Structure 1
């Protein structure tokens, strides 16, 4: 099919969408989620939408061959019932059901192999915000149509991204059903946590934590907890400062299935979480990827933090199964108590395991090269991690 990309003058980004072009340049831009939902009614082609680069991506006919450049985009395609269109995924999406049959388009380290992508002759390439503009433009220069998402900073952004993806690939009904399922499941969590006293929780991965402004912070908050790091004034992703741990009540410690190692320090030993064995391990594929399965991460945490209220809320709701997959229970194994130089326990996620507990550009913390990337424009998790590493003088956090 003929696909073309048209550059749009920046002035259009500040004004209303015209000529059938729907915007995705930012949360306050005309053509936000409501416009996506209105446009879902037809789900016809040709179709144009402004992406995070300010480019109007025009799709002449419904895509039949799609390449995803990060796990969250791939997971979204799976959930909306469009995985049959996917011909290429990155290595960290290979754990999705049937993804091993697709071509791995990852390059060395955590990069994308443009030649591999081009060789698949895709009708559409879905790229997260953590895929650099240089790579996006290189693929466009090779004649491919590439849509780059803006960053997903919260659950509402995941709803938007899901609807956007459905509209781009001609799976509007599947996207709408998936978003409905997410909203209904999370309404149970909201009911369970509405009147519950928030607990205090600290997320720890490879000696780092997630503060205010991170996707993880939003998940912890949605599950009915106060993020200890955010309450301490931490922003982005930073190394765990023991003063924060000592000075604040840590009732729960949240780990992901790729990093079950707790820092071996007196500060952690004295926390309520350790003394009362209150740790919870959440599947990294649900926690670190801004895609529909975050519902399972939020639900797991809410049930852990507020078991009675969660059970009561579920008793008043009709169980709502996932529209396309059977939810995979999150791992519940106890975390490994080792020193800071230990290799974390193996995960079911086929990632390149790090050899130390310090996050690096190759540390599998989520999307490719996370966001988590949280998808879209602006810095995602990887950008924040790199910034944290560059800051590793490291100025100690201020309370």
Structure 2
């Protein structure tokens, strides 16, 4: 597992440099692990949003336009689903639909029960043969997977398999919308809407508890990279009560960060995923964060995946940085849970879900990453991995 977590973080870094959806194939670092989220960047057009909120929102056949501009038709409630990256798999688990999943990527192995599914991973991305062999009714593809293996996705579509590609985003609201959307696509509308509502409630209660708190400067680092403005991880940090120092330094997306910027920012807190420790360099050692031991280590599968458990990543940060506000948040959450239990439920109705609009595909890259990585940088990362295995 430790090796997989390291591989996942590494993959995220490399994918960061893949061209946007439709670009050249590349390995995906925080793989979908850093594909962030916003309600605008997701996969359904305005007509789909309207159709999703109709009275029979969970009926089939269902047609939706994904982030690639492809009209995806799902003829019947899918019973065999393949997920090509762990965020989609985690979402299926979180809405209680794991029994419908017949294939996952190797990086979803942390989810309980995946040993009963097919491993559809191949060299540098999904295996077309393994996916087809799983006989899926629907394939869910996060943007990073598509950016890294567009040709393989198109091969699946050529076989008549419905494939839905999600777009990248920038926030926890993206994750909530994605959760609803996956519920709609898979015929689990009510479960998707309920899980999304739980996420939104948690975020709102964290914001309430942090209302009067000062937010210290935080910096997320992983293998020499950081999460700047317009990133999912940046929003997780903000929700946990930090100010994103990388964004303040005019860094946008997932980019390398040099020692000079680290020294200038002097972050009070540093946030890292597991198995990607704070670099032991004079620059990092000089920061207030390192000198005061203010380093928050977060589960990689929560911090770097745009899926429901990302809320846990925000909670982990909040508990470390604002312990008193965190206690208040827990009290607010307990009260909200108690209120929901004592509230008389409304008459049963068909659940309506929202599917966010999908923007035009651009060349800014898979999970929010933009610039191209040099061969030397990739080689260095591979060498680092080899040394740590």
TM range (shorter): 0.7 to 0.9
Deviation at 1:382, TM superposition (A): 5.7
Change (3 A) 1:76 1:317: closer
Judge conservation of contact 1:186–1:299 (CA < 8 Å) in 2: no
Q: What is the aligned counterpart of 2:322 among 283, 306, 310?
A: 306
* Aligned-residue RMSD, C-alpha: 2.7
Alignment partner, residue 67 of structure 1: 82
1:267 aligns with 2:283: yes
Deviation at 1:317, TM superposition (A): 3.2
Alignment partner, residue 211 of structure 1: 228
Judge conservation of contact 2:43–2:166 (CA < 8 Å) in 1: no
Q: What is the aligned counterpart of 2:112 among 87, 97, 104?
A: 97
Alignment partner, residue 127 of structure 2: 113
Judge conservation of contact 1:200–1:228 (CA < 8 Å) in 2: yes
Alignment partner, residue 384 of structure 1: 369
Change (3 A) 1:236 1:97: same
1:209-358 aligned at under 5 Å gives the runs: 209-259=226-276, 261-318=277-334
Judge conservation of contact 1:24–1:49 (CA < 8 Å) in 2: no
Change (3 A) 1:88 1:377: farther
1:154 aligns with 2:171: yes
Judge conservation of contact 1:202–1:253 (CA < 8 Å) in 2: yes
Cα distance between partner residues in 2 of 1:133 and 1:73: 17
In structure 1, runs of 5+ residues without a counterpart are 1-22, 322-375, 393-399
Judge conservation of contact 1:69–1:126 (CA < 8 Å) in 2: yes
Report how many residues are paired. Answer: 314
In structure 2, runs of 5+ residues without a counterpart are 1-38, 338-359, 378-389
Cα distance between partner residues in 1 of 2:333 and 2:307: 23
Q: Which has the higher helix share?
A: 2
Residue 387 of structure 1 aligns to a residue in which SS?
coil
Residue 44 of structure 1 aligns to a residue in which SS?
coil
Judge conservation of contact 1:129–1:380 (CA < 8 Å) in 2: no
Deviation at 1:35, TM superposition (A): 3.9
Judge conservation of contact 1:126–1:148 (CA < 8 Å) in 2: yes
Once the two structures are overlaid, the 10-residue window that deviates more, 221-230 or 311-320, is: 311-320
Deviation at 1:389, TM superposition (A): 4.2
Residue 97 of structure 1 aligns to a residue in which SS?
coil
1:168 aligns with 2:153: no
Cα distance between partner residues in 1 of 2:220 and 2:41: 30
Change (3 A) 1:50 1:28: closer
Cα distance between partner residues in 2 of 1:116 and 1:256: 30
Change (3 A) 1:24 1:215: closer
Change (3 A) 1:93 1:168: same
Alignment partner, residue 73 of structure 2: 58
Deviation at 1:150, TM superposition (A): 1.4
Residue 121 of structure 2 aligns to a residue in which SS?
coil
Change (3 A) 1:169 1:282: same
Judge conservation of contact 1:129–1:150 (CA < 8 Å) in 2: yes
Q: What is the aligned counterpart of 1:195 among 191, 194, 212?
A: 212
Deviation at 1:61, TM superposition (A): 1.0
Change (3 A) 1:39 1:125: farther
Cα distance between partner residues in 2 of 1:389 and 1:40: 51
Cα distance between partner residues in 2 of 1:92 and 1:241: 29
Instruction: Give the TM-score taking structure 2 as reference length.
Output: 0.74
Deviation at 1:319, TM superposition (A): 6.4
Judge conservation of contact 1:181–1:320 (CA < 8 Å) in 2: no
Alignment partner, residue 348 of structure 1: none
Change (3 A) 1:105 1:39: farther
Deviation at 1:189, TM superposition (A): 0.9
Change (3 A) 1:383 1:28: closer
